[in-house]
Amino acid sequence: MRMREMENKTNQEEVSIINVSSLTCIDLANSNLHQSAASLKQACLDCGFFYVTNHGISEDLRDEAFEQSKKFFALPLEEKMKALRNEKHQGYSSVLSHISDNQIHGDYKESYFIGIEGSIDGPHSDTPFCRPNIWPSHDVLPGWRETMEKYHQEALRVCKAIARVLALALNVDEDYFDKPEMLGNPLVFMRLIHYEGISDPSKGIYGCGPHSDFGMMTLLATDNVMDLQICKDKDMEPRKWEYVPSIKDAYIVNIGDLLERWSNGIFKSTLHRVLGNGQDRYSIALFLQPSHDCLVECLPTCHSENNPPKYPAVKCSTFLTQRYKDSQVDLTKKQT
């Protein structure tokens, strides 16, 4: 699409109403899983975004992860560039490296991507996202890697707990997603993000442009800067955007495109964006996907004779590889 056409489309799209969204809160300590599943099902039918509380991640660990993240982004650019992302996306990505649909420029954010550890000639050498991670020097940031690995493990534990409630919400067995080919050997990626607070929707400039997440679900920790917005109905004109505020001791969770495919479109993978307000903003997102060999196809409880599968079956790694490729900006080419 030519630049002028994109600008016109963006300007039309941004005549929108902004409200504060009210989302369902799921208590992971609730012993009545079926009650939680009913609440979660309604949240996923509504917009696919919800909060989780009583998750078990300590406040000290969360605070330390944010502090270490800020220390990395505060480094001089030349030091951060020593950890520049590899071809499998692990490592540092500079401002304007990512782009979303109908966006003129890249996102005004910098990020650090921590993927699945693996060796090039190891048992999962064909996994598109499995390579040794890139880590900042221990001399520069002592304890940084250890903090991130511990936080990664704890966040994965929470995601697996949510997946069991999601299974019940989809009318399958509680342990349905625990299979080895699903979450028994999942692809789990963590992204540390620093937004510069720069946005001008009329010019296609965003902290993070409108997009849906690729995988099964996202567990998001953020600071108190309220910049995240969701659009519950992407086909509405003009689009209606709602802020999602942070809640103390709660995580924001949203389902992604793969779970929407699994549910035959019943559960929503909702458009969201970050609209900067001049303040720096930090967040940590954990993206959960099934095994790279997992064949994602309509669940048996989500189709019928009158409601056949809407999406063809797709291998997880094939789907993710294309989506990640589409989201990257080639910084070696000048945009005109």
Q: Does residue 134 have a pLDDT over 80?
A: yes
pTM of the model: 0.88
Q: What is the pLDDT of residue 165?
A: 97
Q: What is the pLDDT of residue 204?
A: 77
Domain of residue 148, residue span: 3-327
In a domain, 44, yes or no: yes
How confident is the model over 8-40, as pLDDT tens digits? Answer: 444 444 545 568 778 999 999 999 999 999 999
Q: How many domains does the chain have?
A: 1
In a domain, 334, yes or no: no
| Token pair belonging to 35 | 């009650």
What separation in angstroms does the CA of 115 have from each of 97, 178, 218, 296?
17, 20, 14, 21
In a domain, 66, yes or no: yes
What is the average pLDDT score of the chain?
A: 85
Q: Which residue has the tokens 């079926």?
A: 34
Q: How far apart are CA 308 and CA 310, in angstroms?
A: 6
Average pLDDT of the residues in 95-103: 62
DSSP sequence for 270-290: -EEEE---SS-EEEEEEEEE-
Q: What is the pLDDT of residue 274?
A: 92
Average pLDDT of the residues in 101-118: 76
In a domain, 316, yes or no: yes
CATH code assigned at 172: 2.60.120.330
How confident is the model over 275-320, as pLDDT tens digits? Answer: 888 889 999 999 999 998 899 999 999 999 999 999 999 999 889 8
Q: What is the pLDDT of residue 334?
A: 36
